[in-house]
Structure 1
Amino acid sequence: MRNRRAARRIKSGDGHALPRFRWWQLLGRSLFYLRLPDGDGGHTVYSVDVRHNRTDDSGFANADLYVDGRHHARSRLPAAFPVPGGKIEVRKSAFGLKRCHYVTADGSEHRLQPDRSSAEGRREHLDRAHPALSRGISYSSTIVLLVSLAVLVMQLLEKLTQPAPIAAQIGVFTSPIDLPTWLNIALGVVAALASTERALRLRFNWLLDGGAG
């Protein structure tokens, strides 16, 4: 059923050329590539282009599929483009892409290669060039989100147990962490940055990254 819904969202492309990635699109565009054998000893290049700051007339974000540099199809997100041997799945989160993978018929998954000029490509280059720094950034992002989630849960418990009927039954929970408003805002901003960093690596957890949104 999900595959049928995804197929209905796909519209044929108009054949225009894939625009080059420009530096000013760094925060608003994701561009990924997949090379597959064409059966004649060569390769076909599939490109997935997502403009995060663009929506269609109905307010939906879209993904565009290019084949050898020509526009082949467009689909509302989440998208599943059929390609030889499987499909390309594309899904978006509040902070970027959480999925851009080639899924083969046997169920194996392979992440597409980001354009070197894109934010995802630059993050991948950092991981290759400075693996220790990259790991430190990754761990820091996870820690920030865990702390943010813990603070949020305690604040919610405190508010939920304050009404008199609930307090009479189970008592009032008092959060051991009482942050001033400015620090709560700062924590939210840092958590959003941490989820954005994770999105550049196509990492997504519904509890951590969803909670930050």
Structure 2
Amino acid sequence: MRSRHAARRIKHGDGHALPRFRWWQQGGRALFYLRPAGDEGEYAVDVRHGRTDSSGHTNADLYLDGRHHARSRLPAAFPVPGGTIEVKKSVFGLKRCHFVTVDGVEHQLQPDRFSAEGRREHLDRTHPALSRGIGFFSTILLLVSVAVLITQLLEKLTRPAPIAEHIGTFTSPVALPVWLNIAIGIAAALASTERALRLRYNWLLDGGAG
């Protein structure tokens, strides 16, 4: 059922050439490549963050050997030789851009080396220890953000008298000033953005930050 819905969202491409990635598109464009086994050519997936169609939807464009092959509203599932290219987005970027074979094996597509995702992958390849440290720090920031959010929500939810009479009230162990709450929110958004550059997503951590 889900695959049929995805197939209905696909429209044929118009054959225009794939635009080069420009340095000023770092935060607003994701570009990934796939060369399937055999001689089927090179596929490219191009997503423009913040650009929507007339219906308010973000689209993914699929190119084959540099020419526009298809377009689909996200989430997208493009059938290609040997499997399917699946593309999904979150508030902070892409959370999925994978080639799934007919046997169910998944391969993440290769980001364009000039894109933010490509530069993050280059850092991971050339400085793996630093990359792991940044990833670990992003996770810690999100865990702190979620913990603060949960305690503050519990305090607000148990404040009304009818609820307090039945289950009591909960007082957050940490009372943060407004400026610190804002700072934690900004830090969490940056952490989720960093994770999106690696196509990492967790509904609780990154969903909570969004």
- The TM tier, using the shorter chain, reads over 0.9
Cross-structure match for 2:121 = 124
Tell me if 1:199 matches 2:196: yes
CA offsets, 1:86-129, max 9 Å, x none? 10000000000000000000100000000000000000000011
TM-score between both structures, scaled by the size of structure 1: 0.97
Where 1:145 maps in the other structure, the secondary structure is: helix
Q: How does 1:97-176 map to 2 (within 5 A)?
A: 97-176=94-173
Where 1:177 maps in the other structure, the secondary structure is: coil
CA offsets, 1:59-90, max 9 Å, x none? 00000000000000000000000000110000
Where 2:60 maps in the other structure, the secondary structure is: strand
CA drift at 1:131: 0.7
Alpha-carbon distance in 2 for matches of 1:98, 1:155: 28
Where 1:140 maps in the other structure, the secondary structure is: helix
Where 2:172 maps in the other structure, the secondary structure is: coil
Where 2:7 maps in the other structure, the secondary structure is: helix
Identity, % of aligned pairs?
78
Q: Residues 43 and 5 of structure 1: is their aligned pair in 2 closer, same or farther, counting only changes over 3 Å?
A: closer
Cross-structure match for 1:3 = 3
Alpha-carbon distance in 1 for matches of 2:79, 2:165: 57
Q: Which runs of 4+ in 1 moved over 6 A?
A: none
Tell me if 1:77 matches 2:77: no
CA offsets, 1:143-175, max 9 Å, x none? 000000000000000000000011111111000
Letter in 1 for 2:13: G
Alpha-carbon distance in 1 for matches of 2:73, 2:48: 12
Cross-structure match for 1:47 = 44
Cross-structure match for 2:185 = 188
CA drift at 1:37: 3.4
Cross-structure match for 2:18 = 18
Cross-structure match for 2:33 = 33
Alpha-carbon distance in 2 for matches of 1:209, 1:7: 28
Alpha-carbon distance in 2 for matches of 1:159, 1:54: 37
State whether residues 37 and 44 of structure 1, in contact with CA within 8 Å, keep that contact through their aligned partners in structure 2.
no
State whether residues 40 and 81 of structure 2, in contact with CA within 8 Å, keep that contact through their aligned partners in structure 1.
no
Letter in 1 for 2:45: V
State whether residues 95 and 195 of structure 1, in contact with CA within 8 Å, keep that contact through their aligned partners in structure 2.
yes
CA offsets, 1:28-58, max 9 Å, x none? 00000000134xxx45100000000210000
Q: How many residues matched?
A: 210
RMSD: 0.7
Letter in 2 for 1:37: A
TM-score between both structures, scaled by the size of structure 2: 0.99
What are structure 1's unaligned runs of at least 5 residues?
none
Where 1:54 maps in the other structure, the secondary structure is: strand
